[in-house]
Structure 1
Amino acid sequence: MDPENNQKNKNGIVATVGRRKEAVARVRILPGNGQITINGKPIAEYFLGQIFQKLYNRPLELTKTLGKYSFSVRVEGGGKVAQLGAMIHGIARALAKTEPALRVTLKREGFLTRDARVKERRKYGNAQKARAKKQSPKR
C-alpha cells in the first residue's frame, strides 16, 4: 500500500503522510477505540506533558471523532515539536480521507495545510548562521 496515494485497503485502513520541517509521519487510521501509538509506544509515553496532549487531541475534538478511530503512526526526523506537527497533519489528512464531510472543518482550522516554514539555508560569505554578518575589523 502506497501511503502517498492515500488509498483505503481491504481492511478499511487508510494510510496518509504528514510533514513538518524535517519530520515525516506515516499515519494509518482504522476503526477502533481511540488508541494512538507512535513508533510502537503509546502517545502519552512518547509526547509527555499536557501541552502536547492538547495539541494532538485538537483535530479529534474538533471533528468529534475522539475515541472513534485508532491510529498507528511511524514518525522520523526533526525534533519532538516537528514530529508532533507532522503527526497532526497526517491524522487530519487521514480523517479527511475517511470521512470527506470533515474536510471543510479541518481545512478551515488549518490542519490540512502543510506548514511550509523550514530552516533557512546558510549563505556563503556570512558568519556561522543564515543571516549573521561577519564582524568588521575596527582598526
Structure 2
Amino acid sequence: MADLSSLKDLGTAAAAPASSAPVHVKKVDAQGRSYATGKRKDAVARVWVKPGSGKITVNGKSFETYFARPVLQMILQQPIVAAAREGQFDIDATVAGGGLSGQAGAVRHGLSKALTYFEPGLRSVLKKGGFLTRDSRVVERKKYGKAKARRSFQFSKR
C-alpha cells in the first residue's frame, strides 16, 4: 500500500509542469534578424525582419514598385500597422510562385510570423487580426471528364 501511494504522489508532481501554457521565445539569428516563411495560394515568401528605419524590399525592389497596386501595398503593411511598429523594422522578402495577389498575402503571412519571432509580445495582437493563420484556399484541380474543375462540357441533345 505504501508503494502505490508514493507512485500516486509522483504522478501528480510530474503532471503539474506539463499543464503550463506554451512559452514563446525570441528567435533571432547571428545578424539580429528573425526569419519566417509565409504562404498563400501557390506563392511562398521568405521574410527577414531586423531593427531599422522601416525600409521594405521585395525581391530586391522597394515594395511600392514591386506591388504597384495600393491594395497590395495595404495588405503587406497590415501586420506592421496592427502592431503599431511603423518605421521600426527593416523588412527584406523574397517571394516566388503564384500571382501578385497571392504573393502579397504570402509576404503578409511571413512578415506576421517573423514579427512574432522577433517580438513574442505581438503574438496576441497579430493572432487577433488573423495575420498568423495561413489562408488554405488553393485552386481546385481539374477532374477528368470535365472542362475545368467542376464545369462540364456543353450538352448536345442532337
Instruction: Answer yes or no: same fold by TM over 0.5.
Output: yes
Q: Does residue 22 of the first structure (1) align with residue 42 of the second (2)?
A: yes
Q: Secondary structure of 1:121's match?
A: coil
Equivalents in 2 of 1:49, 1:114: separation in Å? 22
Q: What amino acid maps onto 2:29 in structure 1?
A: N
Instruction: Kindly report which structure 2 residues correspond to 1:1-139, keeping only aligned pairs within 5 A, or say none.
Output: 7-127=27-147, 129-139=148-158
RMSD: 1.3
**Shift, 1:83, TM fit:** 0.3
Aligned partners of 1:82 and 1:39: how far apart in 2?
A: 15
Partner secondary structure for residue 135 of structure 1: coil
* Deviates further, 47-56 or 112-121: 47-56
Please report how far the alpha carbon of residue 7 of structure 1 lies from its aligned counterpart in structure 2 after TM superposition.
4.5
Q: Give the TM-score taking structure 1 as reference length.
A: 0.91
| Gapped regions of structure 1 (runs ≥ 5) | 1-5
Task: Please report how far the alpha carbon of residue 137 of structure 1 lies from its aligned counterpart in structure 2 after TM superposition.
Answer: 2.1
Aligned residue pairs total: 133
- In 1, Cα distance between the equivalents of 2:45 and 2:73? 17
Task: Structure 2 unaligned segments of length 5 or more: list them.
Answer: 1-25
8 Å CA contact retained: 2:27, 2:118: no
Deviations 1:17-50 (A, max 9, x none): 0000000000011110110101100111101132
Relative to structure 1, is the Cα distance of residues 50 and 81 closer, same or farther in structure 2, using a 3 angstrom cutoff? same
TM-score by length of 2: 0.81
SS of residue matched to 2:95: strand
> Match of 1:112, SS?
coil
| Displacement of 1:53 | 2.3
Counterpart of 1:70 in 2: which secondary structure? strand
Moved more, 54-63 or 116-125: 54-63
In 1: Cα distance, 2:150 partner to 2:69 partner:
34
**Identity, % of aligned positions:** 44
Structure with greater helix share of residues: 2
Paired amino acid for 1:50: P
